[in-house]
A and B are shown apart, each in its own frame.
Chain A
Amino acid sequence: MSNFINIALPKGRLGEKVYNLFEKLGYGCPALLENTRKLVFEDEQNGVRYFWVKPSDVAIYVETGVADVGVVGKDIILEQNPDVYELLDLGFGKCRMAVAGKKGEMLPLDRTVKVATKFPNIAKRHFASKSREIDIIKLNGSIELAPILGMADVIVDIVETGTTLKENNLEVYEDIVNISARFIANKTGFRFKTEEIELMKSKIEKEIAQ
């Protein structure tokens, strides 16, 4: 068990992209591509074990040490602040965290701002740094609806291309931070599988530098 590197990957497009990269670097696990409902995949030859998990859970799997390493968006790291090593910026899955609201309007200055978001901690920190008082409305999806229906003044959310905002007659008021995929490691796992993890890190580093 302990010789395997346990890798947590986010389900979805980002996870698949990461897997393709890892496969290219010698961490393949053909069983992963078979269309099954399994969640754990092992490849003895390459010494890897993959878990598909919900993107927002990757950091938790790594922090608790069930996974030694994982790939997760910086948004999740900033929101959850997990106690892990952030070893690399993979440079893909790029987007930004931004404050957005109805087109042509502005952040209200004379009252408490109502903010709808999936990322309450990031929103709180951002507005606290500007000395603004806010009310957080925590939503789990379709954040754009909130300002349209008048439930919130603004949203704090991930913006990739801006198409969804445009289609809903919203626009970015200000950027908070740039987001991309990060390669993270468990602090204990790193100590007991140092060679394996450092080798993996340097392989990825070389590959993304190209």
Chain B
Amino acid sequence: MSTNNTLSFEERISMKLAELFTSFGYKKFKMSKFEEYDLYIENKSFLKSENIIAFNDPTGKLLALKPDVTLSIAKNTADRETEPRRLFYSENVYRVSGNMHEFKEIPQIGLEFIGEVDDYSLCEVLTIAKKALAVISDRYVLDISHMGLLIGLLEATGLPYAEREEITALIGTKNAHEIRRICNENGVAPDLCEKIVTLAGLYGSMDKILPLAEKLVVNDTTANAVNELKTICHILRADGSHNLNIDFSVVSDISYYNGITFRGFVENVPGCILSGGRYDNLLKKLGKTSGAVGFAVYMDLLSYLNKESGNFDADVLLIYDSTTPAEVVLSTVADLRAEGLRVFASTGECKNIKYKKIIRIGEEG
């Protein structure tokens, strides 16, 4: 019997991901199910959903079931360690999701690099993200973006925070017509407005997009962003630029993510299955000075790929009757198992399990 039969599709993927992460020197980090409620309230906009399951511990302190893992890891990592920390986790998070707006337990596997983020470590995390997607499916795309371009362009508009947030959300849905409307209503210069619209629409290979991105430079923030993106893409190209795209509609909350952000997609899974980026700003908010980059894989989405339900539950349905001594049944089961077969013993036919063949023992058999 191979492990392929005993492990579910999700378990096999999570095992392979753990192997991949450890091969790059990442260590598993096991954390408690609960966290102090305050941590999430202070960093509300970092979370994907604002709904949190909160409860009191025996002393009356308000706790929450983790809606997110990155915050806990960032909080629990000591600052300015001389050496970088490489951690991965496999945890359940609790969030409101789906159309029914109900709390769900979502299995999530992810990885965080905390420390001095240089070109190598950034590319390491991106490479692992790419390999993680390849573990999940042959048909995948990793989309890379740099928040600096958007942040820089928004700075140049001089718009207030609310409008900046609105435009950021619209970029996420590639909604050019409403970006134009907001820019018009707020008197943003037409050429600057068109640059933001272009940013929302840019999608494709590095070779196609990088030269176009250079035309969007308006200030230091945008120039630095394009330069960093160019450097990263140049390094990643050595490992093959296939399946890597640039997409500036990959936006994350601007108050936490400051540099490279990325999303992974695989065919037949609606929405992104992998999401990550550089979040130095979060650490800054937590009073730390290190940099950090990481990503999470949403394991619940794997159900879109798992088409294994047609499998058999057992190879043999072993039917015995009342005349057969238990030890005979036991030894028959042992013999069949020794042949590598999965056996389901029963006194009659079973409708609720799928088997390949029936063997009968005893007087009637």
Contacts and interface: CB of A to CB of B under 8 A. Distances in A.
Interface in A143-193: 186-188, 190-192
Given A188-B267, A194-B203, A194-B204, A87 B141 contact: no
Given A85-B249, A192-B139, A194-B203, A186 B270 contact: yes
A86 interface: yes
A2 B177 contact: no
Contacts of B173: 84-86
B244 to A, nearest CB: 12
Nearest to A180: B177
Most buried by B among A63, A187, A194: A187
A200 interface: no
Interface in B172-222: 173-178, 203-204
Contacts of B178: 86, 89
Contacts of A84: 173
Interface in B266-293: 266-272
A190 B271 CA distance: 10
Interface residues of A, number: 20
B143 interface: yes
A192 B204 CA distance: 11
Contacts of A86: 173-175, 178
B265 interface: yes
B150 to A, nearest CB: 16
Nearest to A91: B177
A47 interface: no
Contacts of B143: 191
Given A85-B249, A194-B204, A188 B174 contact: no
A65 B265 contact: no
B245 interface: yes
Interface string B85-125: 00000000000000100000000000000000000000000
A83 interface: yes
B243 to A, nearest CB: 10
A56 interface: no
A149 B199 CA distance: 51
Contacts of A186: 270
A6 to B, nearest CB: 12
Contacts of B141: 191-192
Contacts of A65: 268-270
Interface in B29-85: none
A113 interface: no
Contacts of B270: 63-65, 186-188
A187 B203 contact: no
Nearest to A74: B178
7 contacts: A2-B267, A63-B270, A84-B173, A87-B174, A188-B267, A188-B272, A192-B265
Q: Which 8 A-B pairs have the closest CB atoms?
A: A65-B270, A89-B177, A86-B175, A85-B174, A191-B141, A86-B173, A188-B265, A191-B265
Interface of B: 99, 139, 141, 143, 173-178, 203-204, 245, 249, 265-272
